[in-house]
Amino acid sequence: MGLVCAAGVVLAQSQVDPTRGETLARPCAACHGTPDRDPLPLTPSLARQPEDYTVMQLFLLREGLREAPQMAGMLKNITDPDFFDIAAYYARQAPARGTAKPDLQLRARGAALSREMGCGSCHLRDYSGQKQVPRIANQREDYLASTLKAYRGNQRAGPDTSMNGILYRVPDSDIEALAHYLAHQ
């Protein structure tokens, strides 16, 4: 019952238009990729991200609260309702699957670290994300590693600071193992 009710609330709040979102998001594909093409290095895949997550990040980027030089100026004419449509479009898009073979040892170490750090709690056990918490399964490895380091160094802010807390004093080697594991689901 819980799931049905929760979904009801999501609908009530959003009269979203993913088709309009697709048009708005056309310029994004050059860097963020398409179902057939991976994003550029250090650039996140936006496909199948929870809508709340995409809306929140677009807001933070437009307001200059999250710094990403590549995004500077890209959102200046994008309004709040646009955010919801763009988010709806990406939430319905299938992510491209990377083909790189995992390093099994590194991947196993990452899996153990993920369990220790409770990643699967907020991001869910399949790392598909929920609410404002992103999908990290099969995200680009270089983007994951750089984002985790940015959280540790307090250069990246989320909707709260829990990621900064989790990454407190975590060494590079652990971050790299985690990123490898999450990128190879």
Partner 1 sequence: MNTFLQNCLRSTRFKALASCALGLVGAYALAQQMVGPQTKPPSAKEVEQRKSKGGYYPERMKNPNLSGHAGRMTVTPPSEIPVDKIKVPKGFKVELWAHGMPGVRMMARGSKGTIWAGTRIIGRVYEIKDKGGARQHRILAEKLVQPNGVAFQGGNLYVMAINRVFRYDGIEDNPSVKPIELTAQFKLPPDVHHNWKFIAFGPDSRLYVQVGSPCNICEPSPEHGQIRRYIADGSGMEVVARGVRNSVGFDFHPQTGELWFTDNGRDWQAEDGPQDELNRVSKFGQFFGFPYCHAQGIPDMDFKKQDPCKGVTLPVALMGPHAAALGMRFYSGSMFPKEYVNSIFVARHGSWNRSTLFGFDVANVRAGADGKNAKVTPFMTGFKDPKENKFWGRPADVLLMPDGALLVSDDQNGAIYRVSYQK
Which range, of 70-78, 100-108, 142-150, 162-170, touches partner 1 by CB under 8 A?
Answer: 162-170
DSSP notation for 56-112: HHHHHHHTTSS--GGGTTTTTT--HHHHHHHHHHHHTSPPPPP-PPP-HHHHHHHHH
| Encoded tokens for 7 | 């979904």
User: Which one, 31 or 68, has the nearer CB to partner 1?
Assistant: 68
For 71-85, give one letter per residue: b (16+ CB within 10 A) or e: beeebeebeeebbbb
Scan residues 11-50 and list those touching partner 1 (CB under 8 A).
11
The residue behind tokens 């590194």 is: 106
Instruction: Count CA within 13 A, CB hemisphere, residue 16.
Output: 24
161 binds partner 1 (CB under 8 A): yes
Which listed residue (19, 23, 70, 162) binds partner 1 by CB under 8 A?
162
User: Which one, 41 or 64, has the nearer CB to partner 1?
Assistant: 64
| Encoded tokens for 131 | 């609410």
Count of residues binding partner 1 (CB under 8 A)?
Answer: 48
Which listed residue (42, 78, 96, 164) binds partner 1 by CB under 8 A?
164
Scan residues 81-110 and list those touching partner 1 (CB under 8 A).
91-92
- Binding residues (CB under 8 A) for partner 1: these are 1, 3-5, 7-11, 51-52, 56, 59-60, 63-65, 80, 91-92, 113, 115-118, 120-122, 124-126, 130-133, 154, 157-162, 164-166, 168-170
